[in-house]
Structure 1
Amino acid sequence: MLEKSITMEKKKRKSKKALFAFLILTVTLTFGQGKTTEIGFISDNDLYTSSKYDMYYTNGLELFYRFLSKNNSEKINKEITEFRIGQYLYNPRFLNKEAITINDRPFAGYLFAEVGKSFFYQSESVLKTDFQIGFLGPNAFGEELQEGFHKLIGYKKVYGWENQIHNALGLQAHVIYSKKMFLSKHNDFVDLHWQSEGNLGTIFSEVSTGFMVRFGFKKLLPIYDSNMHNASVSANEQLNIREFYFYAAPSVNYQFYDATIEGSMFNDTSPITFDLEPLRFNAEAGLKYRHNNFNISYSFLYRGRELNDPGIDTNSGYFYGSIRMGFLLR
């Protein structure tokens, strides 16, 4: 009887050890794995900078899903694939009923779906490419969204959408290249990057070049792990990751074509169009923060005068705010 009790006690101890080992393994697998996917949104609005200004690029909303892709190159730290859907809205300066015939920019809406691929190199250079398909014009439902949103929040009614740019198919290719400068002079809290980008398609065609600088309130993460270019996803375990920095990115932009201003390249039926102001100065600055699985940022963006409006001559440079939030998942 005594031997039987001892045997049962040993079995209980083994069971407890096995259970404990299982729990340790479960916790390790759950919290020790990298976060290889990220979901989130980007919200742009001129009201994020001032309630006084509601004009030109007035609202943008994007939803994204990105994940770590297989990488077989020693020169590349990681590859990321991304999917997005989004909508952009554009208004003239004056939206009241009395000024319905005074337009210093066409009304326009652009609705799109996007797929992209990003390559983050060990040298901290970045190459991002993406392709879009979408609709410009009434098929983008810009009028319905803006009027519905203004009504929901009790904001002023918008007049003039009957003059919006007519329907056009959007096919876009976009590329960004960024290169870290002064690699031999490493600083934990400051870095400088030269970056250029280009758009080519039936809606936007333009090129830009400029610099981006980061000033870290904490030690800066390498660009291939930073949320600066959306590289937070990782196959490796990242414990207690924190990132907090200010960045600024001035650039020179040259516009070749903008269907939201000039109308479709395949017809001239849009009621109001303008010629572009080709060369302009753009700038962006903001704060970006990450704590483990959570990314958030606020950016202030300035865009130089984008068109010529003879006879009205009220079009000018403008600014808007951008809020981004992302959540990392296994």
Structure 2
Amino acid sequence: MKRWLPLFFLCLLAMTASAQITQDATKQLRIYEDDDFFNIWGRGTDRGYSNGSSIGYLYMKKKKSVFLDKWILPVAGPHAINVFEWDGMQIMITPNQIADTSYIPKDFYYAGALYATHGLTSYNPERKYSFHSEFVFGVLGPWAFAKETQTFFHNLIGYQPPRGWEYQVPNAPLINYNFTYEIMLWNPVDYLEIVGSANGKIGTMTTSASALTYIRAGLFNPYFGHRDLAVATKRRFQLYAMARPQFSMIGYNALLQGGIFRSRNSNFEELNNYQETHMRHWTIGMDYGIGIVINRASINYTQKTRTEWMSGTGKHSVGNITLLIPISRKTIPGD
């Protein structure tokens, strides 16, 4: 039955979408779903980074930022267009054989995380660059309820229940700060954009650095917006293909290594003594997909492929569906 789930979910979103972050919507709802069973080549799996579900609220405001917003969420100049957000997300990682009740030392740990994110995307339409900064706080381990979530949905769709969650990583706090810089590299015509990007993460969840290139071709509005609202939103229908090659260096990942309290958990440390795989510190990847925008709403499908995160586990591909729904008709915050 699970083989029909991606098709059903795509159809459901297509009916709901009527959806992208646009300058003529100051409040938006974002629904984001990663699942390795979503695969355009029909090669869905249920291992590694198995699932990530998120719901977010994006908004623009007139009031000046205070406290953390002011100090850790920088803006891209005095006339930048700023979109703030609050998100909640749960992710889970599992080994390949989830029906196995024994510990599997040659595969991923069972790991789940539940966290909230507060961030800002600030873009400068004149100089065509943007900052995205975010503060992450949450929990790792049984407190994240990943076992309960996966068991519930597998029972719901009649799929094999996961039986190895007793071996999951221990509880630990997750606190992270992530920052991304993007700049236009090449925009020779209206239907082609190439954007360069650098990303850094530091904290108890992930410490890493990445370099990316975002290539977009088709019918779309300017990636970094425009000071003139009419120009920024001139296309009411958008359709484009995208690709995002990337290279990452990972210093630390709590979900792959057990979290900051792993040494305090004797059961986990005992299991870890038998672990035969280890985290890869260098990965390369390619995202590719399509985006559709109708009026002020958008739906995007992206296939995300990466070289192996853990030695001996092989490359992995995860499908993503993102839906953005405007929930405000106001074009200027507070008006």
Using structure 1 for the length normalisation, give the TM-score.
0.79
Asked whether the equivalents of residues 93 and 103 of structure 1 are also in contact (C-alpha less than 8 Å), the reply is no
**In the alignment, which residue of structure 1 is the partner of 2:248?**
253
Residues 145 and 98 (structure 1 numbering): CA distance in 2 closer, same or farther, change over 3 Å?
closer
| Residues 64-213 of structure 1 aligned to structure 2 (within 5 Å) | 64-70=56-62, 76-97=79-100, 100-122=103-125, 123-182=127-186, 186-213=188-215
Asked whether the equivalents of residues 208 and 251 of structure 1 are also in contact (C-alpha less than 8 Å), the reply is yes
**In the alignment, which residue of structure 2 is the partner of 1:294?**
297
| Whole-angstrom CA distance in 1 between matches of 2:101 and 2:173 | 32
Equivalent of 2:36 in 37, 46, 55: 46
| Whole-angstrom CA distance in 2 between matches of 1:142 and 1:38 | 27
**In the alignment, which residue of structure 2 is the partner of 1:231?**
none
List runs of 5+ in structure 1 lacking aligned partners.
Answer: 1-32, 227-233
Asked whether the equivalents of residues 113 and 146 of structure 2 are also in contact (C-alpha less than 8 Å), the reply is yes
| Whole-angstrom CA distance in 1 between matches of 2:124 and 2:43 | 41
SS in 1 for 2:37: helix
- How far 1:251 moved relative to its partner? 0.7
Amino acid at match of 1:289: I
Asked whether the equivalents of residues 192 and 212 of structure 1 are also in contact (C-alpha less than 8 Å), the reply is yes
SS in 2 for 1:264: coil
Cα displacement string for residues 34-91 of structure 1 (whole angstroms, at most 9, x for unaligned residues): 3211012101101111464111000010001001133998764411110000100100
**In the alignment, which residue of structure 1 is the partner of 2:331?**
none
Equivalent of 1:304 in 302, 307, 315: 307
Q: Which structure is higher in RCO with an 8 Å CA cutoff and minimum separation 6?
A: 2
| Whole-angstrom CA distance in 2 between matches of 1:236 and 1:194 | 23
- How far 1:320 moved relative to its partner? 0.7
Amino acid at match of 2:295: N
Amino acid at match of 1:137: G
Cα displacement string for residues 233-272 of structure 1 (whole angstroms, at most 9, x for unaligned residues): x799957622211110011110000111111224422334
Larger radius of gyration: 1
Asked whether the equivalents of residues 225 and 232 of structure 2 are also in contact (C-alpha less than 8 Å), the reply is no
Computed over aligned residues only, the root mean square deviation of the Cα atoms, in angstroms, reads 2.4
SS in 1 for 2:223: coil
**In the alignment, which residue of structure 2 is the partner of 1:222?**
222
- How far 1:326 moved relative to its partner? 1.2
Asked whether the equivalents of residues 170 and 261 of structure 2 are also in contact (C-alpha less than 8 Å), the reply is no
The percentage of aligned residue pairs carrying the same residue is 23
| Whole-angstrom CA distance in 2 between matches of 1:69 and 1:117 | 11
**In the alignment, which residue of structure 2 is the partner of 1:321?**
319
Amino acid at match of 2:128: E
Using structure 2 for the length normalisation, give the TM-score.
0.78
Asked whether the equivalents of residues 293 and 329 of structure 1 are also in contact (C-alpha less than 8 Å), the reply is no
| Whole-angstrom CA distance in 2 between matches of 1:52 and 1:171 | 31
List runs of 5+ in structure 2 lacking aligned partners.
Answer: 1-22, 65-75, 329-335
Amino acid at match of 1:53: T
- How far 1:275 moved relative to its partner? 3.0
| Whole-angstrom CA distance in 1 between matches of 2:283 and 2:62 | 39
SS in 2 for 1:64: strand
| Whole-angstrom CA distance in 2 between matches of 1:166 and 1:103 | 19
Cα displacement string for residues 79-114 of structure 1 (whole angstroms, at most 9, x for unaligned residues): 111000010010012212366545411000000011
